[in-house]
């Protein structure tokens, strides 16, 4: 589930329900989710017990909770990760991987739980990572970050021949966009994802960026309801998916603009969805073919 809007929903929930709490115990139920932590499962737990969570930050799809002392609990949800805040007695979720006992002054104890079916996600304690974990340094700012540099983004996109969808998914260029929001933003801009960046006009890239922001903001508005006082629920699917998707997952359904059935094609080991009329396939998908000059002899 998690692209930027979903991760932001989780961040807000953690800000509300976990920040200010002290970690009193950590239980690692599966080692895989802490594989990135150089200390190993035991060291991971030891580095957290007794610490207080002082904030909840995010860049793109990465999330971290700074700790008193300057380290941070870093999290990535991967494909199926969830962060849940539960009362300690709640039955264990099927894919519960790590749990943290939390105590906040003047409040009932709670449990923070990392639940992840596929375990592509993970947790780590980032040494000195309170401001920006080293593990996140290569990730670009996301389009909702006030310091995101629009001009630099436009310039970089137009410098490369790579298809625009691939560039949207490149987290070192712009972060937070995944397969769904890439397809949705491209549909809104009427651009095919195979259009080479270098063949787009600056105004088109700007318009695309504006649509990326719009679709993420819309999603955020609808995903914000899945929190309540007791738990942090990551299920952004329910509200947003049914109503607002115009391209992603809509194969065969009529395009909401022109009625043409949405098409699905293979893309980078998954799928792309687009309207073949509104978003025409570029004539030469890529490969700048040019005629070699005659050889002097």
Partner DNA sequence: CAGCTTACCTGCCGGC
Partner DNA sequence: TGCCGGCAGGTAAGCT
Binding mask 203-232 for DNA (x = CB under 7 A): ------------------------------
Q: Is 185 in the site for DNA (CB under 7 A)?
A: no
Query: Of the two residues 237 and 260, which places its CB atom closer to DNA in the complex?
Result: 237
Query: Of the two residues 139 and 216, which places its CB atom closer to DNA in the complex?
Result: 139
Q: Is 76 in the site for DNA (CB under 7 A)?
A: yes
- Cα–Cα separations (whole angstroms), residue 217 to 9, 34, 161, 255: 11, 31, 29, 22
Q: Is 79 in the site for DNA (CB under 7 A)?
A: yes
Q: Is 66 in the site for DNA (CB under 7 A)?
A: no
190 in catalytic set: no
CA-closest candidate to residue 49, choices 73, 75, 77, 18 = 73
- Cα–Cα separations (whole angstroms), residue 296 to 262, 289, 290, 292, 293: 50, 21, 18, 12, 9
The secondary structure of residue 21, as a DSSP letter, is: P
The secondary structure of residue 108, as a DSSP letter, is: -
Cβ neighbours around 45 below 10 Å, total: 20
Min CB(295)–DNA separation in Å: 26
Min CB(169)–DNA separation in Å: 6
Binding mask 83-122 for DNA (x = CB under 7 A): -----------xx---------------------xxxx--
Min CB(146)–DNA separation in Å: 21
Min CB(87)–DNA separation in Å: 24
61 in catalytic set: yes
Helix (H) or strand (E) holding 103: strand 96-103
Q: In terms of residues, how long is the chain?
A: 297
Distance CA 174, CA 149 (A): 10
Distance CA 172, CA 222 (A): 27
Q: Is 17 assigned to a binding site? A: no
Q: Is 237 in the site for DNA (CB under 7 A)?
A: yes
Query: Of the two residues 107 and 152, which places its CB atom closer to DNA in the complex?
Result: 152
Binding mask 139-168 for DNA (x = CB under 7 A): x--------------------xxxx--x--
Query: Of the two residues 49 and 159, which places its CB atom closer to DNA in the complex?
Result: 159
Q: Which stretches of 145-225 are DSSP H helices?
A: 150-159, 164-169, 179-189, 202-223
Q: Which residues have C-beta within 8 Å of that of residue 215, sequence separation ≥ 6?
A: 181, 184, 185, 188
Q: Which residues have C-beta within 8 Å of that of residue 278, sequence separation ≥ 6?
A: 187, 190, 255, 257, 258, 260
State the catalytic residues. 2-3, 61, 270
Q: What residue numbers does the annotated binding site for DNA cover?
A: 95, 118, 160
Which residues are near DNA by CB under 7 A?
1-3, 6, 32, 60-61, 76, 78-79, 94-95, 117-120, 135, 138-139, 160-163, 166, 169, 171, 175, 177-180, 236-237, 241, 266, 268-271, 286
């Amino acid at each position: 589930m998690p692209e930027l809007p979903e991760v932001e929903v989780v961040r807000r929930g953690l800000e509300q329900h976990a920040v200010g709490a002290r970690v009193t115990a950590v239980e690692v139920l599966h080692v895989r989710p802490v594989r990135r932590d150089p200390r190993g499962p035991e060291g991971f737990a030891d580095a957290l017990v007794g610490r207080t969570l002082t904030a909840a930050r995010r860049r793109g799809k990465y999330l971290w909770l700074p700790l008193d002392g300057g380290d941070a609990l870093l999290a990535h949800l991967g494909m199926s990760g969830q962060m849940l805040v539960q009362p300690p007695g709640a039955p264990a979720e099927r894919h519960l991987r790590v749990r943290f006992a939390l105590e906040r002054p003047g409040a009932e104890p709670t449990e923070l739980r990392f639940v992840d079916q596929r375990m592509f996600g993970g947790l780590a304690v980032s040494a000195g990572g309170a401001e920006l974990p080293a593990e996140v340094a290569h990730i670009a700012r996301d389009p909702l970050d006030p310091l995101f540099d629009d001009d630099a983004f436009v310039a970089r996109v137009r410098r490369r021949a790579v298809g625009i969808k691939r560039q949207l998914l490149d987290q070192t260029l712009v972060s937070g966009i995944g397969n769904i929001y890439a397809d949705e933003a491209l549909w809104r801009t009427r651009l095919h994802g195979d259009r080479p960046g270098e063949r787009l006009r600056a105004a088109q890239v700007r318009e695309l960026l504006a649509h990326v922001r719009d679709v993420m903001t819309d999603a955020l508005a609808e995903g914000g309801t899945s929190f309540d006082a007791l738990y942090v629920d990551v299920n952004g699917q329910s509200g947003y998916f049914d109503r607002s998707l115009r391209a992603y997952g809509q194969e065969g359904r009529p395009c909401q603009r022109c009625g043409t059935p949405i098409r699905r094609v293979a893309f980078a080991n998954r799928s792309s969805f687009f309207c073949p009329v509104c978003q025409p396939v570029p004539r030469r998908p890529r490969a700048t073919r040019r005629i070699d000059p005659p050889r002097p002899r």
